[in-house]
Structure 1
Amino acid sequence: MGIFSGDSDKKNNQNEPKDPSVENGGTASDVKEQETSGNGGDNVSAIEEMKTMLDQKSKQCEEYFSMLQRTAAEFDNYKKRTVKEKDALYNDAVSETVLSMLPVVDNFERAIKAAENDSTTDSSFKEGMELVYRQLKDALKNLGVEEIKSVGETFDPQLHNAVMHIEDDSYDSNTVVEEFQKGYVLKDKVIRHSMVKVAN
């Protein structure tokens, strides 16, 4: 019995798995430390790679945000420029239309003055002309058109067109003393200069 039991113990020892650390002269904890240290190097390189990618994405985001700001500023400038251009086109169109109507207004003014000086003119006819004249003036006012002040004002070459000069000490120098034709402005735009007489 003792002989057989000894042989079985040897066989059992031969079948047990061998620890590689023992074979290499080390312990099992040494092998685990080596495996852990090897994985740690891979983790560090992966973190650095992620940081590099994050920096690249951050730079791209900054570039896109900068492009968005420039585009928004350009669009805002475009809107402002478009509004100015529309206003300028509108003012030009109104100015040209009013300029074509001014001879009619001038003729109404002459006709009304002539009717006032003519005692034979029918009063109802005169009232009708004055009514139409007022309607014309109201239409011009609604468009933003205003008369240029002339008589008694200092001569302004940007508003007045001097067609006659007189020497008169009773007036200050460069004073408009008479208006031959009314001038009109639309906002800051002169539609027609006033035709005036100026005292030197």
Structure 2
Amino acid sequence: MSNEENKVKEEELQQETVEQEETEAEVVGSDADVEWNESSDEPEQDDQDAKIAQLEAALLASEAKVKDQQDAVLRSKAEVENMRRRTEQEIDKARKYALGRFAEELLPVIDNLERAIQAADPENEIVKPILEGVEMTHKSFVDTIAKFGLKEINPEGEAFNPEFHQAMSIQESPDHESNTVMFVMQKGYELNGRVIRPAMVMVAK
């Protein structure tokens, strides 16, 4: 074999050796790249999981805060509504019963006018004009106070009611059922549904 052929063969062997080394290097490089990529992805995934957990915790905290604020708003609205209702009731009560003390002072005046009417002789021509004047005064007086909610309690013939009547005496009576008001000694009065003076009565036994 000539020197020239030997040289060609040597070159071919060297070429094959170089190609084989390059192939091995590529394979080794590929495995190393895979391992490196896998190891480099793990910290990145951990960071994402941690951020997601933080966001979820922040979301839960925000939702709890919103719920607390909604509950506080509802409680505040309920308190305002209750306060408004109580205020309206107090104003209504004050308006209804503001005249209570004044009305109590007027009751003796009504009693005296009624006594004067009962004591007068309607057949006496001298007394008759005076009696008519007293009756007109009494009617005008009663009508005026009735506009402000004052109402008389005159329960003769009705069943005795301790909420509106005060029993001054109890007597047997064949003409009345038991526990019936036989006679009213003094009329009672109520102001807008509240008794300011019970009627003084005689009750059948």
Q: TM-score, normalised by structure 1?
A: 0.74
Q: Which runs of 5+ in 1 are unaligned?
A: 1-21
Shift of 1:161: 1.7
User: In structure 2, how many angstroms separate the alpha carbons of the residues matched to 1:81 and 1:43?
Assistant: 57
Aligned twin of 2:12: none
Q: Tell me the SS of whatever aligns to 2:167.
A: strand
Q: Distance in 1 between matches of 2:49 and 2:166?
A: 87
Secondary structure of 1:25 counterpart: helix
What does residue 129 of structure 1 align with? 134
Letter in 2 for 1:78: M
How far off its partner does 1:160 sit? Answer: 1.4
Q: Which has the higher Rg, Structure 1 or Structure 2?
A: 2
What's the offset of the Cα at 1:81? 2.4
Does the 8 Å CA contact 2:154/2:184 hold for their aligned counterparts?
Answer: no
Q: How far apart are the structure 2 equivalents of 1:170 and 1:164?
A: 16
Distance (Å, rounded) in 2 between the aligned partners of 1:43 and 1:75: 48
**Offset at residue 152 of structure 1 (A):** 0.3
Aligned CA-pair RMSD? 2.7
**Contact between 2:97 and 2:192, CA under 8 Å: does it hold in 1?**
no
The residue aligned with 2:185 is 180
In percent, how many aligned pairs have the same letter? 31
Measured in 2, the distance between the counterparts of 1:166 and 1:65 equals 67
Q: CA deviation at 1:32?
A: 7.1
- Partners of 2:179 and 2:46 lie apart in 1 by 95
Task: Give the superposition deviation at 1:40.
Answer: 4.2
TM-score (norm 2): 0.72
Correspondence for 1:25: 29
Aligned to 2:19: none
Structure 2 unmatched ranges of 5 or more:
1-25
8 Å contact from structure 2 (residues 166, 201) kept in 1: yes
